[in-house]
Amino acid sequence: MVAHNLGYPRIGSYRELKKASESYWAGKISHDDLLEAGQRIRRDNWLTQQQAGIELIPCNDFSFYDQMLDWSLTVDAIPERFRPLAETLPATELDLYFAMARGYQKDGLDLIAMEMTKWFDTNYHYIVPEFRKNQSFSLRSEKLFAEFDEAKAVLGAIPKPVLPGPVTYLLLGKEKEAGFHRLELLDRLLPVYEQILSRLQKQGAEWIQLDEPGLVLNADEREQVAYATAYRFLRERFPKLKFLVASYFECFGENLPLAVQLPVDALHIDLVRCPNQLDDLLKTDFVHRKTVLSLGVVDGRNVWINDLNRSLGLIQKATAALGENRVWVAPSCSLLHTPCDLDAETTTSGLTPGIKQWLAFAKQKLAEVIKLVTIAAQPTSDQAQSWLCENETRLTARRQSALINRPEVQNRVRQLTDRDTYRNSAFAQRQALQHQRLTLPLFPTTTIGSFPQTEDVRINRAKFRKGEKTLAQYEAFIQKETEKAIRWQEGIGLDVLVHGEFERNDMVEYFGELLGGFAFSQNGWVQSYGSRCVKPPIIYGDIYRPKAMTVRWAEYAQSLTQKPVKGMLTGPVTILQWSFVRDDQSRRDTCLQIALAIRDEVVDLEKAGIGIIQIDEPALREGLPLRRENRPAYLDWAVKAFRVSASGVRDETQIHTHMCYSEFNDIIQPIADLDADVITIETSRSQMELLDAFGQFNYPNEIGPGVYDIHSPRVPTSAEMVALLNKAADVLPVRNLWVNPDCGLKTRHWLETEQALKNMVQAAQTARHQV
Ligand code: GLN
Ligand code: ZN
């Protein structure tokens, strides 16, 4: 039984890659220094895996930015606009690569970066391949071959190159002009795979891992034919190479028969996300084939220790049906999505020893894979028994821990009734009461919450965290910033003010730190995109709110002004989505626990006299399951969680929500079901096109379509914003429209923010005169 791995985190245990790349971009280290940093990380990763006992070790899973971008360069799918850089400037291949990822503004060139989007339902972002109708492909980059030789030398063994599968690669790209479907490019792409594979074969490669996670998405006939065609082609050309096709993140669904029949040597399935896949597969003709089944039993998407007994059950079931030689064991997906090494968490960090023993990061997960293979081979050995026993002890300790279990929280979730998900009256009645109370003009102006997090704000927070500033000093500083922000907003004439969020580092971390049931690691970084890493909080126990979290800041800000100040909270779905969640309880239940904590905060804000409360849910769309059939159930509890959080207040208290980063077209009904009094959304990049969908839907409640893009320092003119407001007024009733930017302003500078918001206020005034 082979123990193998699909991919290892490439950022380094202490974010070495981030530091090296950013230094290179800033011109502080040389090209060679950066290459060397990459080499060191790869070497460490390979040796770590080898020392753990992994037999078949991946190569080409390393990337300086993103594996899909690597592949676009490998097959020479370089968008036209980068050709001048590729051909005329003395830029290295790596500079061209970074230009594609990050854009390029130098030497008289102004090249827009390639688009970036989420990798399936993870928080990893890949660079979207761009295709043209006359797209051609050829072998361009040597990276793959170089890394193969490098790994072979380091390991003294033959590594397993990891390549994006041809169909998933095309599928995840985008047509940049009309008149063709990207899968039509398959015939042109496959010859390049042929070239690549014959080079690898000459270098001595045996096993090739082709990642085809696209296989878990609902596929139409065109897609299914593409998979069958691609693998028939590769099989015919390479009868001797061994192909492992890797799927992950979901079940195959209707693609199961297709997956079973692929003419490949091994198939990897994710038994963490889809435990039933094994039974389903064993009922098919797969049993009678020779294909190896790679069992993804160790969770590559979360941080909990494996339930060895449970995994062993799956392994034994597979070996009973297929024989030991046809079963491999692996993590469920690439370990890219887990932090690197739990050993980097020292006792002084946020993870208490009690919680730490329930966790496994990438390195620890390798050890689990090895344990499983060893135990499966000799289940009655002393070693096996002691591992199983130790694992059981930890799991039991976790299950019974007082740290986790709060019966009062569990009861409250169980006792939730329909009544808890409804406001007292329907929207129309609430709207009348709110208008009476708030007396806002038509086209009321507001912002999304945060104001620029200046150097000064960040330095003060860092000093406070290091103990160089007392709590009193830090809070005095935040008060001063808040007061400045209030005066400033009054000055430019906004209607509904915000306190500015200066006390918050991050919209999820801030709440996680104040809620019970959350833990924070010291080095638990996961790559989000390029050099950007995130450190998701770990939800380990029942969630409760020891005390009010935001009330005093909201109250303070409101005390400074006659104008309404919005209370500002992060919603339950977003908090859930951006954390590592418990695996011993459904996402739904965890989300409802968070929702109850937020509900209490909302009620407390109301009691403190706050008349408008915003509950941000930018991640609602992102939580949508990969397979269509699972979406209704998710939307049902996600919408319910929001409603639970928002429904504890009186009619005249106005509940806002905010969403961004997403295409909302296919979830307008669920958004309407949130029944927020006001929603502010990101629309300006689509020039309000998005709003048409809301218009066609007759979206009933109030809505603030973002009138300018906050992701760019560019200051929009008031005329531009008036035009957008006119567009909005064409599709939605004027009395329901708000005027606001696309999202929070924390990444902007004050200078451009001031100009932009002044123009925005003016645009609202113009719009008012026009009605
Ligand atoms: N209130 C948050 C802010 O303004 C919202 C951030 C977000 O939507 N991502 O920063
Ligand atoms: Zn936003």
What ipTM goes with this model?
A: 0.99
Nearest ligand 1 atom to the CA of 449 is: 4
Structure tokens at 539: 């939800």
Q: How far apart are CA 720 and CA 768, in angstroms?
A: 15
Using most ligand atoms within 8 A of CB, pick from 446, 447, 450, 569 the residue to mutate for ligand 1.
450
Q: How far apart are CA 562 and CA 570, in angstroms?
A: 25
Structure tokens at 578: 């951006």
* Nearest-CA residue for atom 5 of ligand 1: 744
Could you tell me the distance, in angstroms and rounded to a whole number, from the CA of residue 657 to the centre of ligand 1? 10
**CB within 8 Å of 352: residues ≥ 6 apart:** 519
Tell me which residues have their CB within 5 A of the ion that is ligand 2.
618, 660, 743
Angle at 443 between CA 768 and CA 569, to 5 degrees: 165
Q: What pLDDT sits at residue 90?
A: 59
Structure tokens at 426: 């329907």
From the CA of 498, the nearest ligand is: 1
Could you tell me the distance, in angstroms and rounded to a whole number, from the CA of residue 507 to the centre of ligand 1? 7
Residues with CB under 6 A from ligand 1: 448-450, 501, 507, 568, 616, 618, 658, 660, 743-744, 746
Q: Check the annotation: does 138 bind a ligand.
A: no
Q: What pLDDT sits at residue 713?
A: 82
Could you tell me the distance, in angstroms and rounded to a whole number, from the CA of residue 501 to the centre of ligand 1? 9
Q: What pLDDT sits at residue 603?
A: 98
Sign of CA dihedral 491, 494, 497, 498: negative
Nearest ligand 1 atom to the CA of 658 is: 8
How many other C-beta atoms lie within 10 A of the C-beta of residue 710? 24
pTM comes to 0.94
Q: What pLDDT sits at residue 349?
A: 61
Nearest ligand 1 atom to the CA of 618 is: 8
Q: pLDDT under 70 in the chain at which residues?
A: 89-91, 347-349, 661-662, 684-686
Closest of 732, 730, 721 to residue 672, by C-alpha: 732
The catalytic residue positions are 711
Q: How far apart are CA 162 and CA 68, in angstroms?
A: 12
Sign of CA dihedral 33, 39, 42, 48: negative
With beta carbons less than 8 A apart as the criterion, state whether 570 and 508 touch: yes
Could you tell me the distance, in angstroms and rounded to a whole number, from the CA of residue 658 to the centre of ligand 2? 6
Closest of 736, 642, 743 to residue 694, by C-alpha: 736
Q: Check the annotation: does 16 bind a ligand.
A: yes
Q: Check the annotation: does 750 bind a ligand.
A: no
How many other C-beta atoms lie within 10 A of the C-beta of residue 421? 18
Q: Check the annotation: does 71 bind a ligand.
A: no
Q: How far apart are CA 132 and CA 212, in angstroms?
A: 22
Q: What pLDDT sits at residue 321?
A: 98
Q: What pLDDT sits at residue 89?
A: 61
